[in-house]
Amino acid sequence: MAAASQKGGPVITGIGDDCAILRPPAGHELLVTTDFSLEGVHFRREWHPPESVGHRCLTRGLSDIAAMGGQPLAVFLSLALPPDLPQSWVDRFYRGLLKLARRHQAILAGGDTAQSHSGILADIMVIGSVPRGKAILRSGARPGDRIFVTGKLGLGGASVRRLFGGERLRAAGDYFYPTPRLEVGAKLRGLASAMIDISDGLSTDLAHICTESRVGAIVHQAAIPIAPTATLDDALHGGDDYELLFTSSKRVLREIAGVPVSEIGEIVNGSDVRIQDERGRSKRLRSEGWQHFSQ
Amino acid sequence: MAAASQKGGPVITGIGDDCAILRPPAGHELLVTTDFSLEGVHFRREWHPPESVGHRCLTRGLSDIAAMGGQPLAVFLSLALPPDLPQSWVDRFYRGLLKLARRHQAILAGGDTAQSHSGILADIMVIGSVPRGKAILRSGARPGDRIFVTGKLGLGGASVRRLFGGERLRAAGDYFYPTPRLEVGAKLRGLASAMIDISDGLSTDLAHICTESRVGAIVHQAAIPIAPTATLDDALHGGDDYELLFTSSKRVLREIAGVPVSEIGEIVNGSDVRIQDERGRSKRLRSEGWQHFSQ
């Protein structure tokens, strides 16, 4: 492995044995998530700087931990690389990944490496923890709960549109370096009834909450916080935003851990997900989640 | 995910939320391992039946858990598939994987799926557990300890040689369906001073033990248990055998959990790994581990 072995905190033995050994905090349950980052599917070398690929690869996992209200403990990275890939690309990839890991006290504790016959293949696994019984599931939304999102939506979708349009993005807000909402997620324990991260687009991820909770939803179009440069469509269907979508029957602050929170609708009986415009007209909100970069 | 969601035992929430939730046994530490199985690197569709690919994919992870003296709890599978792959291949892959998982009470609790532009890509992650402080590391071998291996060595190397030679292997002993030595590994807690699984070949894996333990080793050539159809070279360097290599200062039975155990040498001072023939002549045993199927 190109990265130096790390241990400390809950990681008793890291890279260098058959397995890593973890000692999770007492009274906690474990959270486990895995996410591919495949060249040509989730990123392109000509579009994304290596540091961004490493950062976004880890963000995918950390954002899933945030969406359960948990804290990350350890990260495992399986990385298959083409033989002709410059070492500098790999070093810069690790730099981006490890900088984000340090910021959230997540230790890179192991993984696997292999040669790839076709592009860069990364699979990230993040293990986190949450106090026993306190994880925020997708299935807890109840009719009458309000629906909230953190931050602004549509930057992911807008950026991909611009990249496909031939623009060379250099500074694109947080698109290249999104912030997983770990602090917000942890503060929502006991407050949110259901939660998910918006990695596939608001329309798709809200539908996941409704399906798992067996409820419907109404979204107020005018209340959706749209990112600069993004359209309503980007915000509804764009994906890759890594904000949190949650429901609550309680009073929710307009800002949590420095991140703005917007109320965008409510949970209702039934199974329909609808969107309502300012004149009160509503229509079905179809799931048109992000389809990655495949053409 | 093509497989049905599973939960039970330590798995509180499986597939269908942002993360799986695990509740590890009280007083245990966690073991974590990840292993790629990439088409063209670790298997070939024309050589390996889909059930074998699934079985071997999981064996890679379970064998690492066995080598720490642990028991598996949960399995996570990231799987990227070419769009033209027949569904029957995927179904048969899962059948092989899930059959082995059931045999060892390991629950498939999550993972990721993606489209692959180039061959089948699987990354398996196994989470296991071991009583606190009881994991068997690579670093515990001491001068005077004897060296042991389970089963017979060289079947992996011999089978790959035959496949490269154009033979169509149908029944190849345990090559297509190797048995991870979980029961043996667990019984060696408190008995073995160091352990590793022989996935890269005896010469390479013994060198790992010596490096991590800062010792040398002498292997008695005549004592190496060579599999039928295999050569001494297959047994020394062939890899892909999934047997256990361990050291102990104690009396070790010739058979553990129904698996034969052979004493093949001893740990010595220094850092050299040497092999000695029947006439007492010895030479350095070089690490010539398995290089996968790349040509």
Q: Using CB atoms and an 8 Å cut-off, which of residues 130-159 of chain B contact chain A? A: 130, 132, 135, 137-139
| A273-276 and A216-220 strand pairing | parallel
* CB-closest option in A22, A117, A121 to B32: A22
At B240 the pLDDT is 86
CA distances from A180 to A40, A196, B20 (A): 23, 12, 18
* CB-closest option in B17, B33, B121 to A19: B33
> Are the CB atoms for B72 and B11 separated by under 8 Å?
no
- CB-based contacts of B186, cutoff 8 Å, min separation 6: B66, B69, B70, B71
Report the distance separating Cα B82 and Cα A87, nearest Å: 28
What's the length of chain B? 295
Q: Where in chain B is the domain with CATH 3.30.1330.10?
A: 11-131
Burial B114-123 (b: 16+ CB within 10 A, else e): bbbbbbbbbb
Q: What confidence tens digit (pLDDT) does each residue in B139-179 have?
A: 999 999 999 999 999 999 888 888 888 887 776 668 899 99
For A223, which DSSP code?
G
Are B19 and A36 in contact (CB < 8 Å)? no
At B3 the pLDDT is 43
At A162 the pLDDT is 86
**Distance of residue B33 Cα from the nearest chain A Cα, in angstroms:** 5
Q: What confidence tens digit (pLDDT) does each residue in A229-243 have?
A: 899 999 999 888 999
- CB-based contacts of B84, cutoff 8 Å, min separation 6: none
Which residue reads 């611009």 in tokens? A162
What's the length of chain A? 295
> Band of the pLDDT at A4, cuts 50, 70, 90?
very low
Mean pLDDT per block of 10 residues along chain B (295 residues) reads 56 82 91 93 91 96 97 95 95 97 94 88 95 96 98 92 82 84 97 95 95 97 94 92 96 94 98 95 85 47
Question: Can you tell me whether residue B272 is helix, strand or coil?
Answer: coil
Q: Where in chain B is the domain with CATH 3.90.650.10?
A: 138-284
Q: What is the pLDDT averaged over residues A147-157?
A: 95
The token pair at A168 is: 């060379």
Q: Does domain A11-131 have CATH number 3.40.50.10800?
A: no
> Band of the pLDDT at A171, cuts 50, 70, 90?
low
CATH code for residues B138-284:
3.90.650.10
Q: What confidence tens digit (pLDDT) does each residue in B13-30 have?
A: 777 788 999 988 889 999
At A287 the pLDDT is 86
At A163 the pLDDT is 86
B-chain CB neighbours of A70 within 8 Å are: 19
Question: How many Cβ atoms from other residues are within 10 Å of residue B70's Cβ?
Answer: 31
